[in-house]
């Protein structure tokens, strides 16, 4: 792009369009080899030129399939599953008559059913994504057309270089350069809740050259400015560029850019030039890469399928060798009656064919219905989440949503929770709760729901309360009386709050004030003063108008000493109507207490005690003070202040020195306590999750002090903890030392060279893992030091995190800890983190929908997380584990009977069972009982699950289904198959019926074995079931009865006579089931198979108890004797007072106020045109 400037600026535009387009295209082609955009160039109102660069349109696409590619793409994805690919191979083998030992439909029918069910589910999920995309892409926005008129256009048709018009409360459809607005000096107020979860307004301002265009459509339509700026990136707070217009260049920065996802507030209209569209917008750039999430159970199942495949191959090899030996020793005797086929020239060739025949007949070792059953179970458990009324948020009519059906059991294995702060743990609503004035504390009188107690209704005739705000719920009768009586210090305190701020006020309707504050803290303080009779009504660059006790007073604004992160305070200097010069100051108590006059020592001590009480309640505190100045001193100081303001070098340092000269010898007025209102139930939820051994890490963009304050409020940190470690180094060496010092205090042995991790690290080369900007703790060899230290802590707070860094922290834990991670957030800045974690949860509320749209699960309140994990997650995990252990077991038993039978049929690959029984075993006979177990099983109910979070711990270590449990299933399956074969074999060997007829035939033996198998697996699942319902009884015993119905139908005379080649067991069921020895054999087989499982289930809690067994004992004890409720008392720790107001407060509107740019000016007359639709 470096060649653009010479070609464009040197020639008048009306005769240079061809040349500029050519040069830009040539420059673009230089970078086509790597596909990267190094610099963006565009021209306003010139789609023809902008189209040469191939910028994407403004549509977004989150769907995966189209009508054309669904079938091939979905089948390709499904056959990536080993079991599906295995059965496809098996189907091809069954089509080879020389080795096929089973009918082809025994594989085709189950495979088609599995693929169809999974395909339909995927199609429904993708259709929902298509609907969501279409809803967003088809939103309309007024767009300036070529003819100079405004017409409505769909979002997806907006292109780079277009000029669009936005109105109040309208969402920004693309990243725009603000050109002009209805507000004075082209200011625009935006809400960025959808990006960062913050509901306080931000201010954007257009550059002067475009602000003069206003809403003049003639000027806007002929605007041909050229913009060169950064290529698309994910940095929400950074943007640099140059606007060239009429051969002059103007610098562009982030304060002039409106990002997609923002909402226009308190601005009638504004115009913007489209810079980035669709996937190039910063919102979508922060969405991260969509990945297909698979659970740990999926990986484990794939591993076990490989094991089974190897075990199957070993068995087939053994049986093929057995067949070869049998052919050499005995097989040639049968060739007279059963001559070999012409293609079988030797016993070796015969053994090779038998290998593949057994590979087909033993295929049920790898159960094809496993995956479709898993999908049905996950779908059912997802519905439970959607239907849970206790996770329904009534105020916003929002239910919980399981947006994916593949991660349910993963919810029962979470070890780390990564949470955003603003909008997730907190509501981003500040409430004025308490205050201390002249040594006396006043408190709020609200009930638990945050509503005013009776008696605090607005009284008619209260002259100072006509402008009260319903947003402030603070009420203290004693304080109200003090205000009414005219207490001097109380009036000074609230006068200070009404003057010392940078809030801006709007009053579009008489008596209805709307405050715009950079910090919600400031808004809460000014609103509290407003409700107590000191109403900040308006301001100009030189005055502040306050209604005091019903009387309007105008103060002359002399100076604003604005907030900075170093000063941690702000002050205003005003001249009162009585001609007194007053300085009012508020800020962090640690700072203000050092600036007080020595006469305030006693008052300061009392106030500090009140601050301790405020902090123990989790309130954010600050001090308020004042100083009266004489005119001579102020005039001298004012000259120094003007010189510092005009200084070109070290301006900030000089201003700080000047500020310090006047901000001293302050007189203390009091202190405030503001509640950063947490979402309902957050502290209790985090305590419960901690009991479940789930670690909470808070990843936030806020400053350290603010985050720590919230961490204490919501119990991520506790006052009773041994200590708090803060990593504040600015270089790698310092951070490394801080990390090791902290780890040495918690676990000294981890620093020794003999520590296993240190020995491992010396042998293994470290992988680089770099972070942008100054994230030193996540670079190179520090990442593991950070993780090792943080893992030892009870709670972790990561501050000043960018969206990308949040995702990298999650990836760090995923890579090294090998645990299940969950990320929860509410804004677009949390999307990368949500996508990076194993499980992503979006909070759907006032903070926007981006997090929810990219999440796996969504609900409206953080407190629902404990129910999602401890109830639904734990139940899903337990159900899935019981399902898998039983499913593998029943298939092992079913298949391995063929292995024992091989020793009695010359290893001829003859099936023990009827062909139809093989087809229906997994799909019909045993499907409903296992689904009933997997959908309705509960070891304990939801109340005990929440009351004893320790029940969750086994899932974190995957104790209920792992490699050890799988081997147990295999061993138990081998034993049961042995019993099921040899007990019926011994029963019918040389046996006769009561009428003297022989019953030792293959069909009778087949029927006895398969009936014993059905009975045995039914009793086994009954033993596994602990929560019996009518549905469970119907599924389990009903399936057993259904088996006999199908049995007599398939072996009926009519069916066998009509299709003798397909149904060959004529009369077998009728002739076999009336024999007493058959039923005795069945009972004996079932008892022998059940004894090991029943014995282990009985002895395991007694002989090999685990911690969770002790919890079950406590539950059983509590059922007979209800536990006593313990009240958790909050200890008072003065040393842990936390002052956070100043740290959350961003740079205020100070410079903007004193510049005069907030004063309403009379708009010029402009042309108006009809809107074309």
DSSP state of 958: T
Q: Which long-range contacts (CB under 8 A, 24 or more apart) does 948-951 make?
A: 948/1111, 948/1114, 948/1115, 949/688, 949/689, 949/691, 949/692, 949/866, 949/870, 950/691, 950/692, 950/693, 950/1107, 950/1108, 950/1111, 951/870, 951/874, 951/1108, 951/1111
Torsion 161-165-168-169 (CA) sign = negative
830 is catalytic: no
Contacts of 617 (CB under 8 A, 6+ apart): 433, 434, 673, 675, 1130
Nearest to 1107 by CA among 963, 957, 968, 953: 953
* Token pair of 97 as six digits: 């008559």
d(CA 167, CA 631): 47
Read off φ and ψ for residue 264, nearest 5 degrees.
Answer: -75, 125
Place of tokens 């401890």: 870
Round to whole Å and give the CA distance between 780 and 812: 12
CA distance 448 to 280: 46
Token digits for 802?
A: 């960018």
Q: Helix (H, G, I), strand (E, B), or coil: what is residue 454? A: coil
The closest of 565, 580, 697, 683 to 634, measured between CA atoms, is: 580
CA distance 840 to 843: 10
Question: Residue 240 burial by CB count (10 A; 0-12/13-18/19+): exposed, middle or buried?
Answer: exposed
Distance set, CA 527 to CA 102, 243, 465, 516, 607 (Å): 81, 41, 12, 11, 23
- Whether residue 843 contacts residue 860, with contact meaning beta carbons closer than 8 Å, is answered with yes
In order of 327, 339, 799, the CA distances from 334 in angstroms are 10, 7, 82
Q: 1006 with 871: CB under 8 angstroms?
A: no
- Choosing from 196, 215, 280, 420, the catalytic residue is 420
| Spatial distance between the Cα atoms of 871 and 408, rounded to a whole number of angstroms | 11
Locate 463 and state its tokens: 């002259």
Question: What is the maximal distance between C-alpha atoms in the chain?
Answer: 131
**How far is residue 596's CA from residue 627's CA, in Å, rounded to a whole number?**
10
The residue behind tokens 């769909």 is: 154
The full length of the chain comes to 1173
- Written as one string, the DSSP assignment of 5-66 is HHHHHTS-GGGTHHHHHHHHHHHHHHTTTTT----EEEETT-HHHHGGGT---S--------
Q: Among all chains, which residue has been given the structure tokens 């096929």? A: 100
**For residue 1090, which of 1039, 1038, 1021 has the smallest C-alpha distance?**
1021
Q: What angle do CA 1026, 1029, 1031 make, to 5 degrees?
A: 120
CA–CA separation, 133 and 777 (whole Å): 38
Separation of alpha carbons 557 and 1153, rounded Å: 10
Tokens representing 1059 are 């299709």
Assign residue 1062 a region (left: φ > 0; alpha: ψ between -120 and 50; beta: otherwise): alpha
Phi, psi at residue 476, to the nearest 5°?
-145, 115
Whether 751 and 744 have beta carbons less than 8 Å apart is answered as yes
- Residues 587 and 606: their CA atoms lie apart, in Å, by 18
Give the residue numbers annotated as catalytic, written as ranges: 420
């Amino acid at each position: 792009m470096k060649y653009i400037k010479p070609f464009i600026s040197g020639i008048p535009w009306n005769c240079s369009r061809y040349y500029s387009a050519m040069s830009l295209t040539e420059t673009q082609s230089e970078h086509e080899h790597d596909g990267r955009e190094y610099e963006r160039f565009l021209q306003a109102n010139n789609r023809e030129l902008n189209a040469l660069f191939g910028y994407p349109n403004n549509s977004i696409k989150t769907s995966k399939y189209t009508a054309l590619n669904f079938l091939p793409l979905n089948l390709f994805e499904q056959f990536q599953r080993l079991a599906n690919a295995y059965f496809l191979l098996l189907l091809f083998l069954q089509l080879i008559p020389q080795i096929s030992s089973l009918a082809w439909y025994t594989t085709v029918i189950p495979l088609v059913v599995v693929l169809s069910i999974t395909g339909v589910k995927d199609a429904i999920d993708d259709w929902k994504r298509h609907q969501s995309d279409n809803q967003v892409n088809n939103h309309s926005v007024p767009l300036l057309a070529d003819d100079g008129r405004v017409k409505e256009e769909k979002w997806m048709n907006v292109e780079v270089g277009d000029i669009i018009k936005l109105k109040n409360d309208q969402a920004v459809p693309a990243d725009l350069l603000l050109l002009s607005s209805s507000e004075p000096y082209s200011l625009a107020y935006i809400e960025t809740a959808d990006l960062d979860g913050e509901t306080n307004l931000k201010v954007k301002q257009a550059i002067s050259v475009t602000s003069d265009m206003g809403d003049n459509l003639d000027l806007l339509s002929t605007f041909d400015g050229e913009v060169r700026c950064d290529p698309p990136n994910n940095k929400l707070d950074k943007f640099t560029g140059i606007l060239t217009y009429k051969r002059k260049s103007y610098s562009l920065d982030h304060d002039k850019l409106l990002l997609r996802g923002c909402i226009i507030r308190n601005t009638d209209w504004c115009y913007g030039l489209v810079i980035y569209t669709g996937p190039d917008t910063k919102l979508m750039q922060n969405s991260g890469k969509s990945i297909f999430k698979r659970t740990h159970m999926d990986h484990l199942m794939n591993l076990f399928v490989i094991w089974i495949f190897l075990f199957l191959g070993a068995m087939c090899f053994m049986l093929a060798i057995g067949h070869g030996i049998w052919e050499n020793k005995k097989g040639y005797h049968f060739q007279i009656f059963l001559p070999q086929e012409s293609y079988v020239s030797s016993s070796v060739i015969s053994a090779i064919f038998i290998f593949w025949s057994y590979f087909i007949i033993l295929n049920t070792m790898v159960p094809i219905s496993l995956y479709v059953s898993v999908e049905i179970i996950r779908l059912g458990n997802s519905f439970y989440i959607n239907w849970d009324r206790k996770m329904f948020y009534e105020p916003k009519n929002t239910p919980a949503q399981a947006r994916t059906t593949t991660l349910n059991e993963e919810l029962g294995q979470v070890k780390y929770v990564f949470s955003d702060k603003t909008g997730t743990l907190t509501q981003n609503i500040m409430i004025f709760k308490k205050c201390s004035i002249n040594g006396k504390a006043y408190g709020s009188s609200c009930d638990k729901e945050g509503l005013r107690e009776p008696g605090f209704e607005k009284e008619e005739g209260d002259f100072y309360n006509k402008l009260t705000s319903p947003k402030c719920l603070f009420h203290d009768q004693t304080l109200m009386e003090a205000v009414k009586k005219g207490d001097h210090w109380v009036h000074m305190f609230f006068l200070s709050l009404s003057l010392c701020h940078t809030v801006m006020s709007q009053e579009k309707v008489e008596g209805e004030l709307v405050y715009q504050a950079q910090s919600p803290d400031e808004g809460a303080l000014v609103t509290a003063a407003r409700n107590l009779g000191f109403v900040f009504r308006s301001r100009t660059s030189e005055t502040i108008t306050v209604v005091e006790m019903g009387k309007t007073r105008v103060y002359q604004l002399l100076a604003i000493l604005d907030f900075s992160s170093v000063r941690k305070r702000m002050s205003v200097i005003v001249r009162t109507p009585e001609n007194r010069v007053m300085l009012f100051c508020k800020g962090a108590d640690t700072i203000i207490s050092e600036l007080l006059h020595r006469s305030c020592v006693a008052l300061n001590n009392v106030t500090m005690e009140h601050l301790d009480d405020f902090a123990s309640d989790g309130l954010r505190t600050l001090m308020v003070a004042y100083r009266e100045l004489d005119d001579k001193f102020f005039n001298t100081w004012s000259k120094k202040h003007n010189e510092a303001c005009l200084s070109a070098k070290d301006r900030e340092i000089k201003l700080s020195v000047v500020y310090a000269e006047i901000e001293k010898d302050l007189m203390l007025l009091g202190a405030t306590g503001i509640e950063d209102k947490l979402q309902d139930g957050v502290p209790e939820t985090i305590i419960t999750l901690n009991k479940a051994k789930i670690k909470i890490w808070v990843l936030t963009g806020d400053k350290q002090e603010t985050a720590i304050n919230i961490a204490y409020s919501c119990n991520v940190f506790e006052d009773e903890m041994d200590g708090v470690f803060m990593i504040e180094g600015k270089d790698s060496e310092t951070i490394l030392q801080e990390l090791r010092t902290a780890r040495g205090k918690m676990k000294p042995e981890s620093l020794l060279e003999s520590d296993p991790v240190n020995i491992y690290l010396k042998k293994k080369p470290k992988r680089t893992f770099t972070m942008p900007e100054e994230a030193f703790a996540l670079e190179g060899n520090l990442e593991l030091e950070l993780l090792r230290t943080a893992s030892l802590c009870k709670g972790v707070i990561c501050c000043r995190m960018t969206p990308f860094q949040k995702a990298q922290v999650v990836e760090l834990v995923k890579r090294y800890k090998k645990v299940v991670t969950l990320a929860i957030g509410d804004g677009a800045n949390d999307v990368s983190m949500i996508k990076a974690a194993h499980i992503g949860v979006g909070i759907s509320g006032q903070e926007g929908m981006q997090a929810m749209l990219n999440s796996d699960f969504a609900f409206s309140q953080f407190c629902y997380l404990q129910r999602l994990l401890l109830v639904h997650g734990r139940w899903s995990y337990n159900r899935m584990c019981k399902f898998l252990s039983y499913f593998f077991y029943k298939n092992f038993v079913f298949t391995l009977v063929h292995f024992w039978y091989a020793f009695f049929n010359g290893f001829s690959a003859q099936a023990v069972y009827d062909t139809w029984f093989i087809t229906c075993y997994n799909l019909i006979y045993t499907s409903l009982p296992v689904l009933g177990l997997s959908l309705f099983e509960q070891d304990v109910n939801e109340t005990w699950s929440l009351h004893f979070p320790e029940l969750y711990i086994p899932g974190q270590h995957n104790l209920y289904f792992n490699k050890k449990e799988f081997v147990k299933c295999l061993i138990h399956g081998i034993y049961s198959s042995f019993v099921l074969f040899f007990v019926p074999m011994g029963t019918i060997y040389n046996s006769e019926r009561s009428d003297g007829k022989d019953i030792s035939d293959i069909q009778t033996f087949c029927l006895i074995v398969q009936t014993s198998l059905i009975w045995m697996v039914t009793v086994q699942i009954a033993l596994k079931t602990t929560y019996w319902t009518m549905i469970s009884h119907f599924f389990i015993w009903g399936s057993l009865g259904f088996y006999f119905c199908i049995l007599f139908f398939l072996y009926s005379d009519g069916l066998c006579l009509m299709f003798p080649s397909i149904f060959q067991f004529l009369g077998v069921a009728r002739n076999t089931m009336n024999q007493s020895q058959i039923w005795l054999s069945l009972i004996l087989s079932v008892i022998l198979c059940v004894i090991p499982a029943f014995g282990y289930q009985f002895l395991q809690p007694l002989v090999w108890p685990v911690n969770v067994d002790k919890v079950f004992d406590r539950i059983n004890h509590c059922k007979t004797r209800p536990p006593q409720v313990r009240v958790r008392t909050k200890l008072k720790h003065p040393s842990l007072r936390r002052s956070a107001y100043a740290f959350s407060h961003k740079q205020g509107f100070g410079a903007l106020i004193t510049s005069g740019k907030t004063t309403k000016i009379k708009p010029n007359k402009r042309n108006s045109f009809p809107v074309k639709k």
